[in-house]
Structure 1
């Protein structure tokens, strides 16, 4: 089962930040600076966590994973709210990462 996962990261070194960004670009849609919206299976998430753990510094960097629930755009619209510019959920099913 695929679920929406919001991944946010705070990386203290520019070189590591670029490496994390490249990893994330292969797993989701870049929605804000250092924030990606992904559709991940359990195995996808395990692989992503492993790849990120290989790059980040464990005491100075941070990557947050927020599971938003099963891939269902109606649920996503109820889960995420915003102030300012509208959040338009993307149908990520058709995208190839």
Structure 2
């Protein structure tokens, strides 16, 4: 199995019902950063699983999902400017219970 990678997932969902479904799904895959932005630490299998589930939930004519690969999770050194109450920290390595 390949080493996990760090992803930022941002989405713009036109319908509030679909938005809530995507939001709930994302909570199972990453850490919530802002309203429609999550940070995820995923191996290849979980990445493919997430992409497939998002593809089923969204309306491809009305919605937009961006999945940005920041690199290997263990080696990533994000260059992020974080203003306001919360500072950006990369998702730490931790066991995942499936």
Same fold at TM > 0.5: yes
Structure 2: 5+ residue runs without aligned partners?
Answer: none
Q: TM-score, normalised by structure 1?
A: 0.85
Residue number in structure 2 paired with 1:12: 14
TM-score (norm 2): 0.84
Aligned to 2:67: 65
Is the CA contact (8 Å cut-off) linking 2:39 and 2:91 kept in structure 1? no
Q: 1:42: how far off?
A: 1.4
* Residues in 2 aligned to 1:28 and 1:19: alpha-carbon distance in whole angstroms: 15
Question: Comparing both structures, which one devotes a greater share of its residues to helix?
Answer: 1
How far apart, CA to CA, are the structure 1 residues paired with 2:44 and 2:79?
A: 20
Instruction: Tell me which of 9, 23, 26 is aligned to 2:25.
Output: 23
Aligned length: 94
Map 1:1-97 onto structure 2 (within 5 A): 1-72=3-74, 75-76=76-77, 78-85=78-85, 86-91=87-92, 93-94=93-94, 96=96
Distance in 2 of aligned mates of 1:40 and 1:70: 10
Task: Provide the C-alpha distance between the structure 2 equivalents of 1:35 and 1:57, rounded to a whole number of angstroms.
Answer: 18
Q: 1:79, CA displacement in angstroms?
A: 3.1
Structure 1: stretches of 5+ with no match in the other structure: none
* 1:95 CA drift (Å): 5.5
